[in-house]
Amino acid sequence: MAGSHYTVLVSAFDPHSRPDPGWRAELYTVLFETETSKGRAFDAVLLAAILVSVSAVCLETVDPLYRRFAPVFESLEWMFTGLFAVEYCLRLASVRRPRRYALSFFGVVDLISILPTIVGLFVADAHSLRIIRALRLMRVFRVLKLGKFLRDAQVLRAALVAARYKIVVFMVAVLNLVLMLGALMYLVEGPEHGFSSIPKGIYWAIVTMTTVGYGDIAPQTTLGQVIASGVMLLGYGILAVPTGIVSVELSRVTLNESAEERVGQRACACGMSEDDSGANYCRRCGERLPDLR
C-alpha cells in the first residue's frame, strides 16, 4: 500500500533510470545501487562524510572551538562543499533522466546542501543553513536493510493517516482552550507578573499544558495559581487523548496487517479490510486497494 511514497523518499526514482551499459552505468551502480557491494561501500563513506560535515557545522558555532580551529573549520567546509558538489554533478551525469533526479526529494536535498556555502560568500548568516545537510542522513535507511524499515514506516504512517480526523478535532479543541486560557491569565496576572500580552499568555498556556514548564513565566497571584493548577490537571488528562488515539490506530493497523498475512486479505488506508481477492477498490472509501502480495 502506497509503496510508491516510500520509494520516492528512499531511492528517489524508479528502477528504469539505469542508463545503458558503459561508464555511466558503472558510475550509476556505485552512486545509486545499495544492493551491490560497491554501492554499499560508497554509501557508507558518504554517510560518514555527511556526519563529519554536519558535526563540523555544529561545532563551528561553539566560540572557543572556532577561535582555536577557525582554519580547520574553513577548509573542512570548502572540502565537503567541493566533494558534495562533485558528487551531485556525477549523479546528474550518470542517471538516465537527470531532470527527474534533480526534482526528486533527494535531488533537491543534495543541491541545497551545497548552496549555503556559496551563498555564504555574499551573505554572512547563510553559513548556519548548512545544517540542512542533516537531511541527507536519511540516506541511512538505504544502507541498512530497507524492507523492515519501510514496512514499519508504513505502519506508523498508516496509523497517523487513519487518526488524522481525530487529531484535527483534538487540535482545534486544544487551540481554542489555549486562546481562552492565555487571555484569562493576561487579565488575572497582568503585565507585572510577566504576562505582558495575550500572545505571552498563550505561550504560557502552551508551555504549561504540554508539561514543559520552563518557569520563565509562572503565575504569582493566588487566583492565577488556582487557575494554573486546574490547567495542569486538565493538561494531564488531555495528554492521554492523543496517546490513546495513536495506540488504537497503530493497534488496528498492526492487527489488520497480521490478518492479511494469514489469509489473502488486504487493508485500505482508511482501515477497511478486504478479503475478496478480485476487488480493486475499497468498499468504504473508494480508494484503490494495494496489490495482493
Distance CA(92)–CA(29), nearest Å, equals 13
Helix (H) or strand (E) holding 193: none
| Nearer CB in complex with a copy of itself: 41/180 | 180
CB of 188 to a copy of itself, least distance (A): 10
Q: Does residue number 132 form part of the binding site for a copy of itself (CB under 8 A)?
A: yes
Question: Residue 135, interface with a copy of itself (CB under 8 A)?
Answer: yes
Q: At what angle do helices 37-60 and 63-94 cross, to 10 degrees?
A: 150
Q: Name which of residues 227 to 246 contact a copy of itself (CB under 8 A).
A: 228-229, 232-233, 235-237, 239-246
- The values of phi and psi at residue 135, to 5°, are -60, -30
Answer positive or negative: Cα dihedral of 110, 113, 114, 119: positive
Q: Cβ neighbours of residue 119 under 8 Å, at least 6 residues apart?
A: 126, 129
Q: Check residue 45 for interaction with a copy of itself (CB under 8 A).
A: no
Residue 291 contacts a copy of itself per CB under 8 A = no
Residues 258-287 that bind a copy of itself (CB under 8 A): 258, 261, 271, 284
Eight-class DSSP state of 215: S
What residues contact 275, with CB distance under 8 A and at least 6 apart? Answer: 263, 264, 265, 266
Which residues in 180-219 contact a copy of itself (CB under 8 A)? Answer: 180, 182-183, 186-187, 191, 196-200, 202-203, 206-208, 210-216, 218
Nearer to a copy of itself, 244 or 264 (CB): 244
> Binding-site residue total for a copy of itself (CB under 8 A)?
91
Instruction: Look up cell 558528487; give the residue.
Output: 87
Q: How far is the CB of 56 from a copy of itself (least distance, A)?
A: 11
Nearer to a copy of itself, 77 or 94 (CB): 77
Instruction: Give the span between the Cα atoms of 67 and 74, in whole angstroms.
Output: 12
Least distance between a copy of itself and beta carbon 231 (Å): 9
CB 179 → a copy of itself: shortest distance, Å?
4
What is the Cα–Cα distance from 120 to 126, expressed in whole angstroms? 5
Q: Does 70 bind a copy of itself (CB under 8 A)?
A: no
